[in-house]
Amino acid sequence: MSKSPAAPSHVTVAIVGGGQAGLSVSWHLARRGIGHVVFERYRRFHSWRVNRWDSFCLVTPNWQCRLPGHPYRGEDPDGFMVKDEIVDYLEGFAASFAPPLRENVAVTRIARAGSGYRIETSAGVWTADQVVIATGGYDTPIVPPYAERLDPAIVQMHSREYRRPSQLPDGASLVVGTGQSGVQIMEDLLKAGREVHLAVGPAPRSPRRYRGRDSTDWLHEAGHYAMTIRDHPDPMKAVTQTNHYMSGRDGGHEIDLRRFALEDGVRLYGSVAGMDGRTIRFAPELEKNLDDADRSYVGIRNQIDVHIERNGIDAPAEPPFEKLWRPEREITEIDAQAENITSVVWSIGFRPDYSFIEVPVFDERGKPVFDRGVTKVPGFYFIGLGWLNTWGSGRFLAIDEDCRHLTDEIARITAGKALAEA
């Protein structure tokens, strides 16, 4: 006699993703006594443990690590934790409240089921009244299709796979992209004595220290990080713009690509436009991208100057900004063999993977639509994404605030359902 399939397990709230965002929601739900489960397809904090290079460190100071009930309490609040220290900090957070976490369980499908949701996983089927998606935006590494046309003798890897310079063959490396990952990997290779070529994208840059303090300290004090997406003068730019590049390595410093070209011999080009065999082509936009990054840099300095003047703060003066180097001409094509380029590191970002979600919460481009993480479909939410509400959304700085708002909504719906069933 065949056995009937087991009935799905039921929970009030299902959280998909066991990183800092998902577990921060769990912390707030636990405080409110709302039943829930957290599904994590790997081990908790997988991306911090596995998908970072050896010398990785925070770009924002340690004092910005403010997970619920677990702020940074170390001896170096103005420093920048390295990878293993970040994992220890996160593990301390998880240990502080023992979340109902199911590791190595992949969620393969979520669909509406009556007034709730059906959740299919690698460990069985669940149902939930409400669902929180906390998978973040770093699922699928971006590598352009023309990368397949590059000479196979040239090693290619994405920044997610990069760990250390010794992974790469002898010879020069081309790093593609100048977001935070690209510029830090470029510097990592330089410190190992490697020759580096860098394809410069449109990412903005920021001063590290300015007028006696870290620029992030000034911006926080001036209320910049409290600005909501609704109050931002250009919300679309805020959501789509790459993070400003600077570094927390060796105590923290700014990254001026002109200086790296002038003093360290880094060969700079515009964005990669195509590849064919040993030929690599670049868009003629290097000078524009450098100028745009500097414009952002100077803009942040000006913001800080205004704050200092407005509040009568006694702060040391700084010399005016100076462009140390300019390209003599735009190089739009090189022969990789002639330049001894034996490897390419792609650092042009990621795409989220929402293919498992069969709930109408996306726009025509496949992006989730929400207001502070709350979608128009009752009981369905997103957390841990950039500019969910403020600059700190998706970062350690404002996860607590975002999760508190989300759990207020979850609690409201939970109480409403309990009242209706009474």
| Residue 127 belongs to domain with CATH number | 3.50.50.60
Same domain for 34 and 92, yes or no, is yes
- CA-only gyration radius of the chain, Å: 23
pLDDT of amino acid 2: 44
Instruction: Give the pLDDT band of residue 419 (cuts 50, 70, 90).
Output: confident
249-295 pLDDT, tens digit per residue, is 999 999 999 999 999 999 999 999 999 999 999 999 999 999 999 99
pTM for this prediction: 0.95
Do both 374 and 319 map to the same domain? no
In a domain, 184, yes or no: yes
Asked whether residue 280 falls in the same domain as residue 201, the answer is yes
The domain boundary residue, chosen from 346, 372, 402: 346
Q: Looking at the structure, do residues 191 and 328 belong to the same domain, yes or no?
A: yes
* pLDDT surpasses 90 at 305: yes
pLDDT for residue 239 is more than 90: no
Which contacts qualify for 144-149: CB closer than 8 Å, 24 or more apart?
144/272, 144/348, 146/274, 146/275, 146/276, 147/275, 147/344, 147/346, 149/274, 149/275, 149/276, 149/277
Residues 158 and 120 in one domain: no
The mean pLDDT value for 205-225 works out to 97
Does residue 1 belong to any structural domain of this protein?
no
Mean pLDDT of 29-43: 97
Residue 2 lies in a domain: no
What number of residues does the chain have? 422
| Strands 196-199 and 267-269, sheet pairing | parallel
What is d(CA 267, CA 285) in angstroms, rounded to the nearest whole number? 14
Within a domain: residue 328? yes
Is residue 254 located within the same domain as residue 272? yes
Measure Cα distances from 335 to 149, 223, 279 in Å: 14, 48, 5
Q: Same structural domain for residues 208 and 172?
A: yes
- What's the rounded Cα separation, in Å, for the pair 140 and 299? 33
AA identity, residue 333? E
Single-letter amino acid code for the residue at 161: E
Looking at the fold, whether 166 and 270 belong to one and the same domain comes out as: yes
Tens-place pLDDT, residues 348-406: 999 999 999 999 999 999 999 999 999 999 999 999 999 999 999 989 999 999 999 99
Residue 268 half-sphere exposure toward CB, CA atoms < 13 A: 26
Residues 336, 204 share a domain: yes
Q: Please check the confidence at residue 5 and state whether its pLDDT lies above 80.
A: no
Domain closes at, from 291, 317, 346 = 346
Range of the domain at 275: 142-346
Q: Which of 346, 378, 406 is the last residue of a domain?
A: 346
- Give the number of domains in the chain: 2
Query: Is 4 a member of any domain?
Result: no
Q: Please indicate, yes or no, if residue 3 is contained in any of the structural domains.
A: no
Residues 366 and 325 in one domain: no
